[in-house]
Amino acid sequence: MKLPSIIRNKKGQGTGTFGIFNWMIVAFLTVVFFGGLIYAMGLINGVMHQVGVQNDANAGSPNWINLTQASDATFGQVNQSIQALKMVAIVYILGLAVLVIVANALQKIHPIYFFAYILICLLAIIFAAPISNAYQTLLTSGIYNGLLSQFSASNWILNNLPIITLVISVLGGVFLFINLIRTGNEGSGL
Give pLDDT, residue 180.
Answer: 62
Residue 190 domain flag = no
Note whether residue 124 is domain-resident. yes
Q: What is the mean pLDDT of residues 41-70?
A: 86
Band the pLDDT of 9: cuts 50, 70, 90.
very low
- Residue 108, in any domain of the structure: yes
Residue 106 domain boundaries: 19-56+65-177
Is the residue at 50 inside a domain? yes
Mean of per-residue pLDDT scores for the chain: 86
pLDDT per position as a tens digit, 107-166: 878 888 889 999 999 999 999 999 999 999 999 998 999 899 999 999 999 999 999 999
- Between 1 and 161, where is the model more confident? 161
Residue 93 has pLDDT above 80, yes or no: yes
- 136 part of a folded domain: yes
Residues 173, 120 contacting (CB under 8 angstroms)? no
pLDDT digits (tens, 9 = 90+) for 164-187: 999 999 999 998 888 666 555 555
- The reply to whether 51 falls in a domain is yes
Answer yes or no: is 12 within a domain. Answer: no
Q: Does 39 map to a domain?
A: yes
* Total domains, the chain: 1
Residue 52 has pLDDT above 90, yes or no: no
Residue-wise burial string across 3-36, b where 16 or more C-beta atoms lie within 10 A, e elsewhere: eeeeeeeeeeeebbbebbbebbeebbebbbebbe
Torsion of CA 163, 160, 131, 105, to 10 degrees: 40
Q: pTM score > 0.85 for this model?
A: no
Say what the pLDDT of residue 178 is.
84
